[in-house]
Structure 1
């Protein structure tokens, strides 16, 4: 899922290219030694009609790769693939579920023989920005301009929530379809809070006061995935944007010099770092991955954990009876902040792509159109317990407590929804870059000033690297 960015870096990509006899020429975006379609739009198509607006070759096989992570793959096998098969009964569907997408598909992308549809997610995600700059992804413009599955008079793009298309856009073209609408925040057990009479804090001062009470009750106030420090970046940037305004995030996205040393960013970093110095973090957190930290949290060992709204689904098999998932917006650092407390970081995520060199790219687009139908979106939500980018697709569905809470904080935020793009655009800057810097901050290996300078250095690496395609917003 999109919470992870890859350790599968440009250097690994190049090593794989050399191993297969294909080489990415620095700065060229071209692959030597394999045939790509340069966007794929000239690939063989079927006959376009009102019933087949994307000109899908109706009897062409389609090969689908799904990331087998927190969402599993039943939403594909039980919902979307049957819908595709019903419309195209002569099309053979080949389905694969993989934990390591890069490991499974690196050589195929470089060799010019990728599948037709890929859920490019997980720890082994192939960096999306790199795939775009190397011209490995198919332009999705035709998908978004096509009539929607449910209403021929409404384009697919007009059935989606604001920002859904933009989140997968690089430069002036969309290359990534993000299906899940992820709400990020600080999670807690509402049943426990009700029992103890604790109120979710609105300000950071209230957070610290509550943490004191929680610790006195014999519970660690906080835990987080220590080996994935980036989980804390979500709260850090959210609180910084609330304090100084969303322009802070734009500066970070645009790789502006000094963006990570902005006073609001440093104040947010200082607040989170204080959780350690005040003894509010569960012992052992530093060495925990997301499963371990979340497991300690749902077992009642810690009161708060930062995460996205996939959390409830990911913890479904280990959550004790009576536990009630709930999420709160990150607290305000100051009562005179630029944005209201209800401001939430929510972003379309869980990326899906059609490779440029796919044998059946139009089938890949059609598969996406099916996913973005009302039936496809509803089935996705029912299978994986996640909101989707399709407007009103959760209406009429009985949502579990955590997703109900996430939907509530999203509605409370109204137009005050923030997001950023740099982590999608620059995979190595996100992980290991800022991920490692955040880990050092939270464990005290770096001071706030040292952390900010380290983040600036990570941004500078990208800014000064002529082989990396730059994007702005």
Structure 2
């Protein structure tokens, strides 16, 4: 499956602070809503991060605990630096495993190296002691659960959808499609106007699989994807999955694919789209950061949600959302209480708003990006996320079983390029899922 690091513009600046410590206190602090983990305010907190924004919580922590030394260390080599520390029982107190050099979390979970973060979720929030941390978060915690236990808290929220130029739509008096038939009709109008309606990165066919799964979930509900994640018998033969792959296939059957799409990589397809050669592009909301400096000033880059197959979907506001960038507290952390408290600060409204403002990304903190002065791209993703409410769409097999996800994506690319019939697509992926399920050498996970 395609994995890409979102580019950042934020700087660590004043968020990375250090101070002198007088050493740990001999008296344990009293538990209170302001200090639920009995943090020793003079104890240092060892923070290691894969991206700058992971250090933004340091300023809030340092303000509250003036005697604590908090110096987040930014590194692009998390495995090289941290695996030896895990092995010797001297890991940091909190880690942001993000970027191209992220940790193998499955291995760390299997080796019992990660703390249970349920205490964090049930603790009073940094902003309001009458609400828990969990109350302040979007319903996307499953991404960090392993066999029912919360081992990580995935901080960055990626919204997936279809991108378009709002200025182009305005010039042609085109409306954003509400259903898949509307999208096909729009594609016909675009083609008549000399624009390749739909473009995608053919060398990264996961984008097409993402489209199929989103359509299937909007049509049949979250259980469609839960059965796929749990490797249930016949999950890929579900009628909603069948309808979804057929609907995506209509793009090719009707000649609505921009020429050359099957050969483009992600940058090639995105450049063509931004040059006005195509009208719609499937991608996550990292697109704006990735193409910074190449987006025409009058383009008005905007996202719309993948439209439903018909007018009576199970999830009317369904939106594919993925929580990434996992924070974790090692089980053998010297200052685990400080690590948990650091995450409580990182999950505050002010810190999350700073992350969105400076890195141009959304976070798991509910409403933290509201009211910020942001561009049309992130603003549209934010508004879609707010409109989705609890109808967020997610799946996890691509993280749990990446090799299988690659097989499913490759089959989808072949199907849209005319190399597979629909029945062959279904049979191939279901057979791969059945083979995976029967392989006892691969650790299996299950959604509840």
Calculate the TM-score normalised by the size of structure 1.
0.79
CA distance in 2, matches of 1:383, 1:375: 12
Please give the per-residue CA displacement for 1:81-121, whole angstroms capped at 9, x wherever unaligned: 333344355425241232x6556656655665554433334
Can you give the 5+ residue segments of structure 1 that lack an aligned partner in the other structure?
7-44, 68-72
- Displacement of 1:471 after TM fit? 1.3
Q: How many residues align?
A: 424
Match of 2:69 in 1: 91
1:277 Cα offset (Å): 4.2
1:140 counterpart = 2:114: no
Q: 1:117 to 1:290 in 2, by over 3 A?
A: farther
Q: d(CA) in 1 for partners of 2:49 and 2:58?
A: 12
- Deviations along 1:216-275, one digit per CA (max 9) or x if unpaired, are 323221222323221222221111122233321221122111111222212211222333
Is it true that 1:64 corresponds to 2:38 in the alignment? no
CA contact (8 A) 1:242 1:337 kept: yes
- 8 Å CA contact 2:154–2:324 kept in 1: the answer is yes
Aligned residue in 1 for 2:344: 369
Q: Are the equivalent residues in 1 in contact too, given 2:85–2:91 (CA < 8 A)?
A: yes
After TM superposition, give the deviation of residue 128 of structure 1 in Å: 3.7
The aligned counterpart of 1:457 is 431
1:158 to 135, 140, 144: 135
> Are residue 242 (structure 1) and residue 218 (structure 2) matched?
yes
2:232 to 249, 256, 259: 256
User: Does residue 367 of structure 2 align to residue 392 of structure 1?
Assistant: yes
C-alpha distance in 2 between matches for 1:442 and 1:351: 33
CA contact (8 A) 2:155 2:363 kept: yes
For the structure 1 residues 107 and 227, does the alpha-carbon distance in structure 2 shift closer, same or farther, using more than 3 Å as the test? Answer: farther
Q: Which residue of 2 aligns with 1:349?
A: 324
Instruction: Indicate the residue corresponding to 2:383 in structure 1.
Output: 408
1:93 counterpart SS class: coil
Please state whether the residue corresponding to 1:348 is helix, strand or coil: strand
Q: Structure 2 CA distance, aligned partners of 1:5 and 1:253?
A: 22
> In the aligned structure 1, how far is the partner of 2:328 from the partner of 2:94?
6
Query: 1:318 and 2:318 equivalent?
Result: no
* 1-structure distance, mates of 2:82, 2:411: 29
Aligned to 1:443: 417
Unaligned runs of 5+ in 2: 6-25
State the alpha-carbon separation in 2 of the partners of residues 250 and 177 from structure 1.
20
| Structure 1 residues 401 and 420: CA distance shift in structure 2, 3 A | same
Deviation at 1:192, TM superposition (A): 0.9
Distance in 2, Cα, partners of 1:270 & 1:384: 38
Helix, strand or coil at the partner of 2:362: coil
- Partners of 2:336 and 2:352 in 1: how far apart? 21
Q: What RMSD over aligned residues (CA atoms) do the two structures have, in Å? A: 3.0
Kept after mapping to 2: 8 A contact 1:143/1:365: yes
- What are the superposed Cα offsets for residues 356-380 of structure 1, whole Å, 9 maximum, x if unpaired? 3444443332221111011111111
Post-superposition CA distance 1:287-345 (Å, at most 9, x none): 433333323322322211112233333333321101112222212223444443x3222
CA contact (8 A) 2:197 2:256 kept: yes
Corresponding residue SS for 1:239: helix
Cα 1:212–1:174 shift into 2, 3 Å: same
Q: Distance in 2 between matches of 1:201 and 1:3?
A: 27
| Partners of 1:4 and 1:121 within 8 A in 2 | no
Q: Is 1:382 aligned to 2:357, yes or no?
A: yes
Is 2:11 the partner of 1:4? no
- For residue 199 of structure 1, report the CA deviation from its aligned partner: 1.4
Q: Structure 1 residues 178 and 216, CA, compared in 2 at 3 Å: closer, same or farther?
A: same
CA contact (8 A) 2:369 2:382 kept: no
Aligned residue for 2:169, secondary structure, equals helix
d(CA) in 2 for partners of 1:159, 1:351: 17
Which whole-Å deviations, capped at 9, do the CAs of 1:30-72 have from their partners, x for residues lacking one?
xxxxxxxxxxxxxxx99443354324454335131214xxxxx
Equivalent residues of 1:133, 1:469 under 8 A apart: no
Distance, in Å, in 1 between the alignment partners of 2:352 and 2:395 is: 24
Report the CA distance shift for 1:131/1:216 in structure 2 as closer, same or farther (over 3 A).
farther
Q: 54, 63, 69: which one pairs with 2:37?
A: 54
2:256 & 2:85 partners in 1: Cα distance? Answer: 47
